[in-house]
Amino acid sequence: MMSCTNPGYTSFFLISLLVYLANAGNFNQDVDITWGNGRGNIANNGQLLTLSMDKSSGSGFQSKNQYLYGRFDVQLKLVQGNSAGTVTTFYLSSQGTTHDEIDFEFLGNLSGDPYTLHTNVYAQGKGDREMQFKLWFDPTKDFHTYSVVWNPSRVILYADGTPLREFKNKESIGVPFLKSQQMRVYGSLWDAEDWATRGGQVKTDWSQAPFTASYRNFNADGCTSSDVNTCSKANSTWMYEQLDSTAQQRMQWAQKNYMIYNYCTDVRRFPQGLPPECNSN
């Protein structure tokens, strides 16, 4: 097994990640708290955002800007203790029935049991591309960095600089890609006790409320033009980002040791054949 602290893992992503975090944005300037009736709060002069949930409501925020391609980072500390039934999110999405979406969803669990990280990619309204992970760290004890890189060639999801999955542009074989719809960045904490923990078998313990998740070091470096041609020519590092051989090995390590579900291997779910992008990687 490759060590999770492999000193040889010095990809361009990790170097640029430090640069981005050193220039973190300000929540007061970058986002709006859009729901929760006071359960979402910005503190520390815009450097910290907390979302809370009780039996009446959860809470959430969205970016002021919309983006077409870019790089998006946030540090997140999840609900501690018995978080069963809760879902904490960081995602990008457009609107409408043919929307695009890139998801990090953290499914809570009983005290002592690890979170499940649920990821998905929607392109032109088509999702069903779930990959799930048990992380190699405790995401409730400290802040950890979750990142999305989205350019015309690929979508890459990272945890602490380790690539978890890559969704490549496979339009050449008829697979829709995220290339024309602007997306906002969202975060939320909400109750999903009907399905989030062990398929809904474990319900939310409301005696533990309020539940709180914390966000910091939010960065959204993307193209804010509504013109597709303009954004397709953006001259930023994320526009050309891809996984080098070391990063590919790192992703294989994460998937081999920590992935618990992969839609690309679920032959029962797709009896007529796996999605075409699964067979072309």
List, by residue number, the catalytic residues: 101, 105
| Residue for token pair 């695009």 | 100
Alpha carbon distance 37, 97 (integer Å): 27
Which run of H or of E encompasses 48? strand 48-53
Q: If you ran DSSP here, which 8-state letter would residue 235 be given? A: -
CA dihedral 15→167→187→89, nearest 10 degrees, is -100
Residues contacting residue 172 through CB under 8 Å, at least 6 positions apart: none
3-class SS of residue 16: helix
Q: Residue 146: which of 235, 49, 217 has the closest Cα?
A: 217
